[in-house]
Amino acid sequence: LLFGTGSLVVFLLIIGFGAFYKGAQPPSEKITIDPQNVEAQESFKKENLGLTKVEDGKYIVNVVASAFNYDLGKDEEGSNVKKIRIPKGSTVLFQVTSTDVVHGFELAGTNVNMMVEPGYISSYETELNETGEYTLVCNEYCGTGHHLMFAEVEVY
């Protein structure tokens, strides 16, 4: 009983520390987007799908997830981008939505890990301070092609 109560107190203290001291809060502001509304989806894409440089060291990455692909825009030759390159030390805001089902958005090895829901734009800002190749993976089972859903981010 003592052990059980003790663990409970420890867990509550950890949650309290995270919430009140470290500021980990559920999103207070939800940005919605109608997954059935083709125009809304198109205008989200037009705000530069993929990597956009805002200023030196500041980037935005807009992504539309769908079964079983991360749409990161097109390159100059018109083919789908499967890899984005970001300079080390940059602050990057990831904004992701889905057109069909719930997908995951995890940049393995970093603290970027979001659930992507149709109808909402999930966003997370992080600093990428270590060079390397990071795999962007879907970590929510989304159908038969779930394991094919990945892309790459290189920090150089």
Of the pair 51, 106, the CB lying nearest ligand CUA is at 106
Contact flag: residue 140 with ligand CUA (CB under 6 A): yes
Q: What are phi and psi of 132, to 5 degrees?
A: 150, 175
With tokens 């059935």, the residue in question is 36
138 in contact with ligand CUA (CB under 6 A): yes
Instruction: Tell me the CB-side half-sphere exposure of residue 40, using CA atoms within 13 A.
Output: 14
Binding mask 55-94 for ligand CUA (x = CB under 6 A): -------------x--------------------------
Please pick, from the candidates 60, 84, 136, 142, the single residue that binds ligand CUA as defined by CB under 6 A. 142
Q: For 1-32, b where at least 16 C-beta lie within 10 A, e where not — what string?
A: eeeeeeeeeeeeeeeeeeeeeeeeeeeeeeee
Q: How far is the CB of 122 from ligand CUA (least distance, A)?
A: 13
CA 79 vs CA 46, 57, 62, 76, 96: distances in Å: 16, 26, 17, 8, 20
Closest distance between ligand CUA and the C-beta of residue 114, in Å? 12
Structure-block tokens of residue 114: 């979001």
Residue 103 binds ligand CUA (CB under 6 A): yes
Which span sits near ligand CUA by CB under 6 A: 22-30, 33-41, 106-114, 142-150? 142-150
Amino acid at 121: I
By the rule CB under 6 A, 108 interacts with ligand CUA: no
Q: ω into residue 94 within 30 of 0, thus cis?
A: no
Out of 60, 63, 149, 151, the residue judged to bind ligand CUA by CB under 6 A: 149
In the complex, which residues of this chain contact ligand CUA (CB under 6 A)?
Answer: 68, 103-104, 138, 140-142, 146, 149
